[in-house]
Amino acid sequence: MTSPTLAEIQTWFQHINTRLPDRSGQREFSGWEIDDILDDSGPLNAQHGTAIYGNGYMARLLGCLAAEFPTLRQAFSTEWFDHVAQQYLSRYPPTEPSLTTLGSRFPAFLQEELSATSLTADDTAGQFIVDLARLERAISETSRGQGTENIDYLAFAHWGSIIPSSVYLAPNLRLLKLRSNIVPFLHAMSNRQNPSFPESCEKYVVVCRRNFQVCLDPVEWWQYELLQHLKQSPTVQPWPDTLASSEIAARIPVWLLLSTERGYILDRPLRALQQSNH
Amino acid sequence: MRHTTPKVGQHKPLPDLGLGVGLRPQHFNHVLAEQPAVDWFEVITENFMEDYGWSRHVLHNVSERYPVVFHGVSLSIGSSDPLNRSYLDGVKKLANEVSPRWVSDHLCWTGTLGRNSHDLLPLPFTEECLDHVAARVCQVQDHLERPLVLENPSSYVQFKSKDMTEWEFLTALTERTECLLLLDVNNVYVSARNHGFDPTDFIDGVPSDRIVQVHVAGHTDNGAHCIDTHDSAVCDDVWQLYAYLCRSTGPVSTLLEWDANIPAFSDLLAEVNKASLAIENFCEPLTWPTTMEGRPGEFVDIRNDSLSTPLEFLMTSRR
Ligand SMILES: [Fe+2]
């Protein structure tokens, strides 16, 4: 056998340790056996040494997903979580240098999996699982994202009662429309209580960060719609049609001011504010 | 904390920072509030690069009070994939922001074909691999505009393709690239136990004047082999090996790694402070309570193996 190249060795080693099919069009791994490539003369035999890498690969990544979705894992069985997380990692093996993106597709993956297996459209348990995963992922993104902590809030003093024509969402703000009252459930689980699963009802939550602490603020439907509108476009007016009723339109200016205090919105993009603060 | 003066006439490419520990999220509040008496901190680069929240805030705060060193786990210097330029840009940006005393990573690869296993995978010590790694070290040093410090990882397999030992590989790499070394004596010990070589051959084989930092850590001893678990105190064998190394390096920046079952900060300090005692009490010849040949024949169920290179601590970033 001719000496394998570095690329061939790595392709083979990765294949046997991750048990993943190689992407089509990529380098083919040869059908080598462990004894063909690895030196078996040391105290730790090659088979066992390989298993340490192989077992460690999945165990390490499962541990990271478990740390990002602790309530989901705790609320259902750890066996169920590990099983579904393993399927997820097989479909979406990590590619980035950072672990922050590892769980980014997990809620969507759960949605796909549950849609494929659910018998009825009204699958409340499935919706709860997906929403809980969305909430935990949002918490993780908000905790790491660009926040407004170091912004000089005096920048807003000139607002007075006049709303600027454009306002911007804090980059780490996440908006969620949930199909059950999950937030109290999550808090109870975090406090090691044993809450019952929440009943179905529509809830709107802003996930934001104040003083480096993630906050889960309940909001009303029109406040959620308004923030969604601002997420698409920083232009305050015209309001979306859903907010056009005179009663709601009258409440918007006051609530936008409150939103600046809560760290949801800024009067210019965060980058511009950071520069003007220096 | 250690107060030592370098040996007369010894020129170190980077300063001796004393005795340090890894800055871990579990200790953020304690470090900010108490400003404990530790000489320096090492931080996992990737833990801060994409974090603009509490972790980043703490890093800025700590770097104003203590010397900080970056330690990366995703450079993948030995991968056959192209270098990840955006990753290097991220390291450089953070380094410009925080001014670490130096930037280190591992002599390993983490994945190929666009994947990242988040493990420190072993390289074949061949001439081909040396050419490949040396060229990439030069590219990285040019990109970062600073020397790269490379650490020997612990390993559980060796490749049949082999033109030299790991220490010969590291030596050749320093000669070709002027990179510096982070010598992890626990990794030397773990690899020596797993592959059956004398750890002092490794220590004697690397150029001591290129070693700018040392790691010590705890491992799990399964009798027939060892796993680099970073979850316990440093064993006597590793402290002995550390003291043996320090005879040739002189005082050198020393860091305790503890990444799983992380104890109270005071326990970390007590552990790293044993370094001075290990040097004082050192006497030859070295004796190994467990033979380097391991104990073949002893049955170990691999499903019960502990996890090497723990990562979970990286996921804790909330205040
Ligand atoms: Fe290390």
Q: Percentage of residues in chain A with pLDDT exceeding 70?
A: 86
Judged by CB atoms closer than 8 Å, whether chains meet at B53 and A212 is answered as yes
Task: Work out the mean pLDDT of chain A and round it to a whole number.
Answer: 86
Residue B318: predicted pLDDT: 66
Residue B29: predicted pLDDT: 96
Q: Which of B123, B194, B312 sits opposite A49 (nearest CB)?
A: B194
State in Å: Cα B108 to ligand 1 middle. Answer: 12
Answer yes or no: is B8 within a domain: no
Judged by CB atoms closer than 8 Å, whether chains meet at A9 and B194 is answered as no
Domain ranges in chain A? 1-144, 145-278
| Structural domain containing residue B41 | 19-315
Judged by CB atoms closer than 8 Å, whether chains meet at A13 and B160 is answered as no
- With CA atoms as reference, the chain B residue closest to A12 would be B112
φ, ψ at B249 (rounded to 5°):
-85, -25
Nearest-angstrom CA–CA distance, B217 and A187: 36
- With CA atoms as reference, the chain A residue closest to B131 would be A6
pLDDT, one tens digit for every residue, chain B (319 residues): 664 444 444 567 899 999 999 999 999 999 999 999 999 999 999 999 999 999 999 999 999 999 999 999 999 999 999 999 999 999 999 999 999 999 999 999 999 999 999 999 999 999 999 999 999 999 999 999 999 999 999 999 999 999 999 999 999 999 999 999 999 999 999 999 999 999 999 999 999 999 999 999 999 999 889 999 999 999 999 999 999 999 999 999 999 999 999 999 999 999 999 999 999 888 877 766 554 544 443 444 444 566 777 777 667 666 6
In this structure, are residues A128 and A195 in contact, taking their beta carbons and an 8 Å threshold?
A: no
Query: What mean pLDDT comes out for the span A15-29?
Result: 59
- Helix (H) / strand (E) element for B301: namely none
- Percent helix, strand and coil across chain B, each to the nearest 5: 40, 15, 45
- With CA atoms as reference, the chain B residue closest to A89 would be B117
CATH of residue B231? 3.20.20.150
pLDDT at residue A35 tops 50: yes
Measure A49 CA to nearest chain B CA, in Å: 5
Domain count, chain B: 1
Work out the angle between the directed axes of helices B85-98 and B54-65 (0-180°, nearest 10).
50
State in Å: Cα B241 to ligand 1 middle. Answer: 15
Q: Which of B51, B117, B316 sits opposite A18 (nearest CB)?
A: B117
Cβ-proximal residues to A53 (8 Å cutoff; 6+ apart), any chain: A13, A17, B119, B121, B156, B157
pTM for the whole structure: 0.91
Measure B120 CA to nearest chain A CA, in Å: 9
Lowest mean pLDDT among A149-158, A196-205, B76-85: A149-158
Answer yes or no: is B4 within a domain: no
Q: Which residues surround ligand 1, an ion (CB under 5 A)?
A: B 184, 215
- Percent helix, strand and coil across chain A, each to the nearest 5: 55, 10, 35
State in Å: Cα B183 to ligand 1 middle. Answer: 8
Tallying the residues shown for chain A, one arrives at: 278
A24 interaction partners in chain B (CB closer than 8 Å): none
Answer yes or no: is B14 within a domain: no
Residue A122: predicted pLDDT: 65
Residue A165: predicted pLDDT: 77
- Mind listing the pLDDT tens digit for each residue in A100-126? 999 999 999 999 998 887 656 568 889
Judged by CB atoms closer than 8 Å, whether chains meet at A56 and B224 is answered as no
- Look up tokens 């459209």; give the residue: A121
A143 interaction partners in chain B (CB closer than 8 Å): 53-54, 317-319
Lowest mean pLDDT among A22-26, A82-86, A169-173, B132-136: A22-26
In this structure, are residues B154 and A51 in contact, taking their beta carbons and an 8 Å threshold?
A: no
Answer yes or no: is B266 within a domain: yes
pLDDT at residue A28 tops 50: no
Measure B289 CA to nearest chain A CA, in Å: 16
In one-letter notation, the amino acid at residue B189 is Y
State in Å: Cα B188 to ligand 1 middle. Answer: 10
Residue A88: predicted pLDDT: 97
Measure B212 CA to nearest chain A CA, in Å: 25
Between residues B318 and A217, the one the model is more confident about: A217
In this structure, are residues B47 and B62 in contact, taking their beta carbons and an 8 Å threshold?
A: no
Among A107, A112, A102, CA closest to A134: A107
Between residues A262 and B172, the one the model is more confident about: B172
Between residues A90 and A166, the one the model is more confident about: A90
Q: Supply B311's token pair.
A: 């990562």
pLDDT at residue A1 tops 80: no
Judged by CB atoms closer than 8 Å, whether chains meet at A57 and B119 is answered as yes
Judged by CB atoms closer than 8 Å, whether chains meet at B80 and A7 is answered as yes
H helices present in chain B, as ranges: 28-34, 46-49, 54-65, 85-98, 127-144, 166-177, 185-195, 199-205, 236-249, 265-272, 274-280
Answer yes or no: is B78 within a domain: yes
In this structure, are residues B104 and B69 in contact, taking their beta carbons and an 8 Å threshold?
A: yes
Residue A157: predicted pLDDT: 53
CA distances from A72 to A68, A78, B41, B317 (A): 9, 9, 34, 18
Q: Which of B74, B112, B227 sits opposite A14 (nearest CB)?
A: B112
DSSP codes of every residue in A75-91: HS-HHHHHHHHHHHHHH
Q: Percentage of residues in chain A with pLDDT exceeding 90?
A: 60
Mutate to test the interface with B, among A34, A52, A89, A216 (most CBs of B within 10 A): A52
**Cis status of the peptide bond prior to A97, with omega within 30 of 0:** no
Q: Supply A242's token pair.
A: 């859903």
Between residues A167 and B6, the one the model is more confident about: A167
Answer yes or no: is B11 within a domain: no
Q: Give CATH for domain A145-278.
A: 3.90.930
- Mind listing the pLDDT tens digit for each residue in A169-195? 999 999 999 999 999 999 999 998 989
CA distances from B274 to A26, A161, B268, B279 (A): 50, 64, 10, 9
Q: Which of B114, B123, B315 sits opposite A95 (nearest CB)?
A: B114
B295 interaction partners in chain A (CB closer than 8 Å): 43
Judged by CB atoms closer than 8 Å, whether chains meet at B128 and A6 is answered as yes
Residue A152: predicted pLDDT: 63
Judged by CB atoms closer than 8 Å, whether chains meet at A97 and B316 is answered as no
Measure B155 CA to nearest chain A CA, in Å: 8
State in Å: Cα B176 to ligand 1 middle. Answer: 23
Residue B224: predicted pLDDT: 84
CB contacts < 8 A (A, B) = 194
Mutate to test the interface with A, among B55, B157, B164 (most CBs of A within 10 A): B157
State in Å: Cα A224 to ligand 1 middle. Answer: 47
State in Å: Cα B265 to ligand 1 middle. Answer: 19
φ, ψ at B11 (rounded to 5°):
-105, 120
